[in-house]
Amino acid sequence: MRAWATASEIAQAVQSGAASAVSVTEAALARIAEHDGVLNSFTAVTRDRALAKAKAIDTAKTRGEALGPLAGVPFAVKNLFDVAGLTTLAGSKINRDHAPAKTDATLITRMEAAGAVLVGALNMGEYAYDFTGENVHDGPSRNPHDTERMTGGSSGGSGGSVAGGLVPISLGSDTNGSIRVPSSLCGLFGLKPTYGRLSRARTFPFVASLDHLGPLARSTRDLALAYDAMQGHDADDPVCAKRPVEPALAALERGTSGLRVAVAGGYFKRGASPEALAAVERIAKALDATRVVEFPEAARARAAAYVITATEGASLHLDRLRSRAGDFDPAVRDRLIAGAMTPASLVVKAHKFRRWYRDEVAKLFDSVDAILAPATPCTAPKLGQQTLMLDGVEMPLRPNVGIYTQPISFIGLPVVAVPVPLKPLPIGVQIIAAPWREDLALRIAHALETEKVAAAPRPQQWGAD
Amino acid sequence: MNETQDDTLEQFIEVAAKALELPIDPTWVPTIKANLQVTLRFGKEVAEFPLSDEAEPAFVFEA
């Protein structure tokens, strides 16, 4: 089995008997051992567990039992997912004192029920309050396209591990852009589903009213496979929707005929680098999307998401800020302390504005099926870079990488980030759909992948089979 | 509160830290202040948006 095989190819090979799950797992573990010293995407490798699971799959195959759609597919999870036997770090020093988790996160259980093999936990920005993929405790995740550059965050290891060919699928979380930003900077397909679609049970939270989980992969088929395996109500997550499973894989190849696609104007064009604009233009041209729509009050939506994030995050960590302030990443600590001091009256205004904004944006989807917008304002910045240029103005980098993702996750819309393989570095474009229409965003992404307009480029130095 | 009221904001941070029982090292204050200025500016931008008294917040958000 080629190291660079997709999840779909691996599952087919294991199902047909062309490859064993154990051989695939051993190859993934060997590749992690060979390359992760540089990429720094893993914080734990679950070798024994992975091999035991792989053996069980091969035994089931020998017995003639039906194998799941992800049979033998190695995957890894951001280290805010509970993994039985591991301490859930959430990128922090403080949580290292917690007892190991007793039970896996629901999404891990569902991935494994479909035959996937968990191989480890992944590096991330501290407590997910991050767009860089840097971590002061574990060191930065490194971008496989240029290891001196950021993966993007906070799901940094989730981006680096898949872009570096260590695993075909990873799971991340996205509160303000933390799946879409690393997808963009690492050149991957990433799915942030509708708020409430996928269970967050047994994952460490950040901002309850904005937290989403989802997959990153090198193909849309792999995204759909993982997404379908993880769907379904879960009573262990109070906001997980009571909706039936709505499979996306079966509809993936229906094409874009009849779908109305527009481009987000105004706010979503301001501040974007030439690369970000070129990527959107390339995708729009391929989809024949000429109409421009405006997200009403998008800047204010971003501002409201920022306020809610700072204050809900501060509330979550208030006791730790009192007792262990010195153990935080200073950059995270000082943002959280500022959040703790923000007047509640402003927070309530932000929540009121959110309802207004959701209702206004919903009207856009009366006449379009999907909207295109940049995923990030620029390609991967250098590690340690503190500022970026927006509209010719030098701005702090850390909070501003997510300017185009925040107004979308603020109201929970589903998004597929698709990679445009620009040289020398890729960059992503968001395909934004109406609530619960992940299937449409995935269909459009798949059509773009089929036409080779969107593609997860193989990094030169990590690209060998 | 605007960004030019540096002394006022520093005094606010000092008092708020005491009220919230947050131990603050004096060397952290400049960064906390910079972050608070951004959050307050964004909060002001949100608060200026006209909404009716009856507008319902979306604390438990439904897509």
- Residues constituting chain A: 465
Asked whether the predicted pLDDT for residue A216 surpasses 70, the reply is yes
> What is the rounded average pLDDT of the residues A173-192?
98
> What is the rounded average pLDDT of the residues A258-270?
97
| Residue B1 pLDDT | 47
What pTM, to 2 d.p., does this model score? 0.97
| Residue B63 pLDDT | 67
Q: By the 8 A CB rule, do A211 and A237 touch? A: no
> 3-class SS at A265?
coil
Asked whether the predicted pLDDT for residue B24 surpasses 60, the reply is yes
Asked whether the predicted pLDDT for residue B2 surpasses 60, the reply is no
Provide ipTM, 2 decimals: 0.93
Per-residue pLDDT band for A39 (boundaries 50, 70, 90) equals very high
Total number of domains in chain A: 1
Tell me if A316 is assigned to some domain: no
Tell me if A320 is assigned to some domain: no
Which of B23, B38, B63 lies nearest to residue A325, judging by beta carbons? B23
> 3-class SS at A459?
coil
- Tell me the CATH number at A287: 3.90.1300.10
Do A346 and B40 count as a contact with CB atoms less than 8 A apart? yes
Tokens of A366: 């009366």
Do B55 and A352 count as a contact with CB atoms less than 8 A apart? yes
| Residue B7 pLDDT | 86
Min Cα–Cα distance to chain B from A306, Å: 7
Concerning whether A20 is annotated as a catalytic residue, the answer is: no
Contacts of A333 in chain B (CB under 8 A): 28
| Residue A464 pLDDT | 61
Candidates A158, A178, A183, A199; catalytic one: A178
Tell me if A327 is assigned to some domain: no
Q: What is the CA radius of gyration of chain B?
A: 15
A222: exposed, middle or buried (C-beta count within 10 Å: 0-12, 13-18, 19+)? buried
> What is the rounded average pLDDT of the residues A302-306?
97
Of residues A73 and B3, more confidence is placed in A73
Which of A330, A341, A412 lies nearest to residue B16, judging by beta carbons? A341
Domain with A204, as residue range(s), is 7-300+346-462
> What is the rounded average pLDDT of the residues A341-370?
97
Per-residue pLDDT band for A2 (boundaries 50, 70, 90) equals confident
Phi first, then psi, for residue A370 (nearest 5°) are -155, 155
Disruptive mutation site among A317, A337, A390 for chain B (greatest number of B CBs within 10 Å)? A337
* Average pLDDT over chain A, rounded to an integer: 97
Tokens of A21: 């799950």
Tell me if A286 is assigned to some domain: yes
Do A355 and B58 count as a contact with CB atoms less than 8 A apart? yes
